[in-house]
Structure 1
């Protein structure tokens, strides 16, 4: 009976396996059909990168997507965006945003990715309860810097747009790029990379977008006001009422407003070119003046800032103690073990026991001295640049490193600061998600004894420090006298440093605690190019620090006597140089030779410890430390002083 039953059993097994394969194929086909059905429900009807179709490296740039729901049912889910670089490898954190689309509805959605890879593409997905809706890859456009390098002998074209009314299809004139007012970012932190705006109507904006425009302008933007469709000047209200000044040209913060008595049709190519074209300077003469050093042209040095943060979490072991233990270990085994085994009273197996005991003892000692966690403390370290919009609001770019000794899920939160977040590691995938805005959050999983690098930009409100230009004297184009008064809110401490920049030169400042004033110290004057020059150049030959006035970089500019910098002072100097480079970056201002502070103002630089207002909400809690370089332009009309000489 057993022999006759085997064929039937084998037949049933084959039928069962065949049914399993058929069922698997049916389920796969059903899933594929479902994915195809989902994929056709929503499409990207329009996309806008940046402001004029280009993006700026090292900045959070807006990516505006017009989503179109093709189905008769509402769609709700989470829209995700992630960078794909190299050989189709996902990199960095995943940007997330909740989305709801009504039946057959359309909606603009904006992401603000951190631009680092010039050849990246971006993967977009909509994750719903029914499944994942994929979209075609989004190709990142050309970088502004790369676009300008394609024509090395000609001028650089800065990003600028003419703002159109929402829903307008008119694209006149064709001499300038157009941008719909409905995709202008609602946060000033997302407006970096835009140089100029032409405006011929009062935008129909809610207050956040009005504040974003004002913040962009105060930070150094250029607003060109045209006549409206009726040939009348624009009249603003609310927080934009300060734009109603009758002058043809006036300043708002570090930015400027220019009036043109013409309508949009009068924007000729020559006029637009005069606003958006930056002529290339003579690099040879700049290099002679110390404003531009060969091989040190670029201002932005984000990788250098992040690399210095990484170095702060490298394990530091006592190499002298480890070397002494290694020497003792060798002596203990030979001649120590040999001497012990040749003693008359020592019998087998005691020599082996002694050798084994020495091996175990020194193994424990080596493990204890060289263990991870030895002199390692979990912490959140930060290097930041804060550029003033006005007396109370600061645009803060932060580079943070979270170093942990215990693996866990960590969360960073910021509220009501228009915060944009991204991973500082853009060449590999990290287990992190980022959501931005008024309730920004960065969640990541960090393994034990590992780090997470995070880049953020936020708008922080501080107390009014009462900074005022009390004395401002210029003789033959050189700064000869300067006094900056402060209020009682300035949190100045010992160890903080201050400089002032005028045109393309930097002077150190002395602090008077009794008068609460900064005064110019003429002995430390250096050019910007020398101030930013690396300590080691030309095959790692050390750079000495001659006295001020000899043409080289003087350590007096950093607040000390002219002498060769110590290792610790060198690290502080490199940090200051990296942060200053970042504070000076603007659209079209990417090199040292591009920097010129106008003659009617100075740039005040204050390097201070991390204020309490700059600390994040961290879960679990970590000790937060770091340094901040504050930069604020002070005009001669800020106080009672006028440039004299």
Structure 2
């Protein structure tokens, strides 16, 4: 953890002091080799962090030094903040595989540029436009192959194991990995693979021609279990024969998902977070001052000029009036009712291996002093974005693993931030005491807190199976359905909670009435937006038809107050409020189905 912060401190110094990086010799030439590849299957997931793999080649006799950045493009204009990969050194005729993690609101063009980094900015030697990719309408399955190896499965896209990402936040649509050998991975790749597996992924091991399965090191010991099927956290490891061939994947037609594209998590969440700290100006006083100001200039100064006949006096009064009212408008307009720099966040944390959580966090920073702000979270391998897909934001984000965001924020304004990474914290683990599902409904559920822990006082819980939701509350130290002894007596359809009002109302002006929408209510409104985002709900016909729900898992969501494990640096503001939703997927016991 501290090594991570030490590395970030170095990059902070780079941004804060604008140290000039040694320029590349003019005759060194960097090129893009081949075609950049999105994700693991060439597709992207809107409203999520996505992986872009780029191979660069130094086509010269001299070493190349500099930086490469990636920026989303809207039309011909860059938007969001560029993601910067600094301090690159590529030997003559050498190649590097670069992996950028960038947030995409929708499938769009992106632009790569490279050159020496001078005063914190790239002096571009050249650019490359990555064409708009296809988006992924459904779960993704891939076969991991050795570098330069060949695929053995006919209907599954192949992905080179050496390019497996180190941040599980980009694996949200990956459902299954086929593997017939032991990957040669670095520790960060092993950790990301285990995070993905424990969070709900499926690993299919394929035997060789002798019926033998690969042997894995201790760090992947879960894969050595000889059983045909074994649960690992919320994930699954299964063993298949050497002759296995998966059925062709039938991707849902894109047209099926164009009728009710109602879920827009960024705009919805950020509109509510911004409304919490929007300055409340004294508009009656401002309008009164504006009226007096105009009347003093005309006809006041006009009458003064006609009566006195001295233009110097008239000009002096005009200048004094402008100066006085400029100061007045600045004093009255800059503050509402004593606003202070504050941070509000909502967090979705998916359970990984013990003590690790895959985190996606939305934050709104409101400042009263304009300045350059450094945003750093205590999570590992953090990727950053402003979440703004329609405008360029001043600043830059450093590409993981040393992720941070440096951005300029004017006084009395907001800056939105999305980050994704891995939190190393105890969090809110659970133990399943009882779980019974019959006829597509949760009949019984009893949950205990993790070993040595107690339930937090302000806990809200839900259990979701397919399209049915059960509210949970603590009774005698056990989390059970609300108002019951463990037997579920009352269920609600999920669309009673995830509806147009709860996940798509992103007009912030409707939240300006503080009496009707106090800060606590505005925060709580985001609860179902986060749950819908985690379930992968993109539109309401998916919800009603139940086309996205797993048939073998119960989703449990536990909401509690924001802890310091998710603070965006207390040096910016000690006032950081919000909540965390801990997401668990519980495999259904075979006898209960």
Q: TM-score, normalised by structure 1?
A: 0.71
C-alpha separation between the residues in 2 aligned to 1:78 and 1:259?
44
Specify whether residues 83 and 388 from structure 1 end up closer, same or farther in structure 2 by C-alpha distance, changes over 3 A only.
same
Deviation of the 1:411 alpha carbon: 0.3
Counting only pairs closer than 5 Å after superposition, residues 205-284 of structure 1 correspond to structure 2 as 205-228=185-208, 231-262=211-242, 267=245, 271-273=246-248, 276-277=249-250
Give 1:165's aligned residue. Answer: 146
Give 2:497's aligned residue. Answer: 531
**Match 2:473 to one of 497, 507, 510:** 510
**Match 2:404 to one of 441, 447, 453:** 441
Q: RCO (CA 8 Å, sep 6+): is it higher in 1 or 2?
A: 2
C-alpha separation between the residues in 2 aligned to 1:406 and 1:530?
42
Give 1:80's aligned residue. Answer: 69
Give 1:189's aligned residue. Answer: 169
Q: What SS does structure 1 have at the residue aligned with 2:414?
A: strand
Equivalent residues of 2:84, 2:398 under 8 A apart? yes
| Deviation string, structure 1 residues 216-251 (Cα, Å, up to 9, x no partner) | 122222222112466521221222111122233332
- Pairwise CA RMSD: 4.1
Tell whether 2:265 aligns with 1:301: yes
Tell whether 2:383 aligns with 1:431: no
C-alpha separation between the residues in 2 aligned to 1:96 and 1:536?
35
Give 1:394's aligned residue. Answer: 357
Tell whether 2:569 aligns with 1:617: yes
Give 2:157's aligned residue. Answer: 177
Give 2:447's aligned residue. Answer: 484
Q: What SS does structure 2 have at the residue aligned with 1:374?
A: coil
Give 2:301's aligned residue. Answer: none
Equivalent residues of 1:49, 1:62 under 8 A apart? yes
Specify whether residues 476 and 193 from structure 1 end up closer, same or farther in structure 2 by C-alpha distance, changes over 3 A only.
closer
Tell whether 2:384 aligns with 1:411: no
Give 2:274's aligned residue. Answer: 310
**Match 2:421 to one of 458, 464, 481:** 458
Give 1:94's aligned residue. Answer: 82
Deviation of the 1:49 alpha carbon: 1.5
Give 1:120's aligned residue. Answer: 109
Query: Unpaired segments of 5 or more residues in structure 2?
Result: 1-24, 293-322, 506-514
Tell whether 2:584 aligns with 1:632: yes
Q: TM-score, normalised by structure 2?
A: 0.77
Give 1:136's aligned residue. Answer: 128
Deviation of the 1:528 alpha carbon: 0.9
Give 2:532's aligned residue. Answer: 581
**Match 2:183 to one of 183, 203, 211:** 203
C-alpha separation between the residues in 1 aligned to 2:343 and 2:523?
18
Equivalent residues of 2:142, 2:176 under 8 A apart? yes
C-alpha separation between the residues in 2 aligned to 1:590 and 1:414?
37
Equivalent residues of 1:70, 1:104 under 8 A apart? yes
Specify whether residues 453 and 365 from structure 1 end up closer, same or farther in structure 2 by C-alpha distance, changes over 3 A only.
closer
C-alpha separation between the residues in 2 aligned to 1:247 and 1:395?
27
**Match 1:596 to one of 549, 559, 566:** 549
C-alpha separation between the residues in 1 aligned to 2:464 and 2:364?
30
Deviation of the 1:441 alpha carbon: 1.2
C-alpha separation between the residues in 2 aligned to 1:128 and 1:309?
35
C-alpha separation between the residues in 1 aligned to 2:117 and 2:521?
52
Computing the radius of gyration from Cα coordinates, the structure with the larger value is: 1
Equivalent residues of 1:82, 1:123 under 8 A apart? yes
Greater shift after overlay, 612-621 or 47-56? Answer: 612-621
Deviation of the 1:570 alpha carbon: 6.4
| Deviation string, structure 1 residues 399-442 (Cα, Å, up to 9, x no partner) | 11111111111001235612111121121111111113343211
C-alpha separation between the residues in 1 aligned to 2:251 and 2:551?
16
Query: Unpaired segments of 5 or more residues in structure 1?
Result: 1-33, 146-155, 284-291, 330-359, 540-564
Counting only pairs closer than 5 Å after superposition, residues 564-579 of structure 1 correspond to structure 2 as 567=517, 571=522, 574-579=525-530
Specify whether residues 77 and 363 from structure 1 end up closer, same or farther in structure 2 by C-alpha distance, changes over 3 A only.
closer
Specify whether residues 598 and 160 from structure 1 end up closer, same or farther in structure 2 by C-alpha distance, changes over 3 A only.
closer
Equivalent residues of 2:262, 2:538 under 8 A apart? no
Specify whether residues 588 and 69 from structure 1 end up closer, same or farther in structure 2 by C-alpha distance, changes over 3 A only.
farther
C-alpha separation between the residues in 2 aligned to 1:394 and 1:77?
34
C-alpha separation between the residues in 1 aligned to 2:444 and 2:281?
49
C-alpha separation between the residues in 1 aligned to 2:482 and 2:427?
22
Equivalent residues of 1:415, 1:439 under 8 A apart? no
Deviation of the 1:93 alpha carbon: 0.7
**Match 2:41 to one of 52, 61, 67:** 52
Equivalent residues of 1:410, 1:619 under 8 A apart? no
Specify whether residues 187 and 590 from structure 1 end up closer, same or farther in structure 2 by C-alpha distance, changes over 3 A only.
farther
C-alpha separation between the residues in 1 aligned to 2:124 and 2:523?
49
C-alpha separation between the residues in 1 aligned to 2:582 and 2:539?
22
Give 2:53's aligned residue. Answer: 64
Deviation of the 1:491 alpha carbon: 5.7
Give 2:314's aligned residue. Answer: none
| Deviation string, structure 1 residues 80-123 (Cα, Å, up to 9, x no partner) | 1212221x111111111131111221121111111123232323
Equivalent residues of 2:58, 2:91 under 8 A apart? yes
C-alpha separation between the residues in 2 aligned to 1:135 and 1:456?
26
Q: What SS does structure 1 have at the residue aligned with 2:191?
A: helix
Q: What SS does structure 2 have at the residue aligned with 1:634?
A: strand
Equivalent residues of 1:379, 1:402 under 8 A apart? yes
